[in-house]
Structure 1
């Protein structure tokens, strides 16, 4: 991990499939629940160190302060994009499927609307 531009979250399956229990960034969660400044002195070795809230983050400051994997981290291996009836669907390595037309985890509404459109001509 060389810099925060390479945040570990960007390599996680749950970040890419938008299922992260921490909302997308584990370090943002840790900065609120267990701030770095509660344990260590301020750091001044990177360009954003003066911005509000930056000191509370654990992974800020590049390889001098590396981030840690959260308990849910799973290496992201890519996704398969497929065309369905009305939208593109992403299928992830664990079988989870993401579709913008999906409602409550099912395709029922999408297929019902498609069927109605076909019947109307």
Structure 2
């Protein structure tokens, strides 16, 4: 028999974030997140059209987020340097009122994505 251990997802969405991603996907097509860990807005997850932000060896794919009504999962990438500090956390992408980065797709909506985290074992 196979291993019955089910890995805890590293990243998930609030219902509000999923709803916003569905709207953004309708307007922009497939999406992705990247969280760089830089100063200012770099510490917030940035939403881009899929493939618009180039990822590489300095990035970690934390998960693919399934969103009802969206054909393609939304990949969530994080810079490896930030991941080293956050590897023992479970991240939840949420959305709150306010202005985020002008480069992230939600900026014109008057809201911004943010990360909520909690420590996990393992």
For normalisation by structure 2, the TM-score amounts to 0.21
**Relative CO higher for 1 or 2, CA cutoff 8 Å, sep ≥ 6?**
2
Larger radius of gyration: 1
Structure having the larger proportion of residues in helix: 1
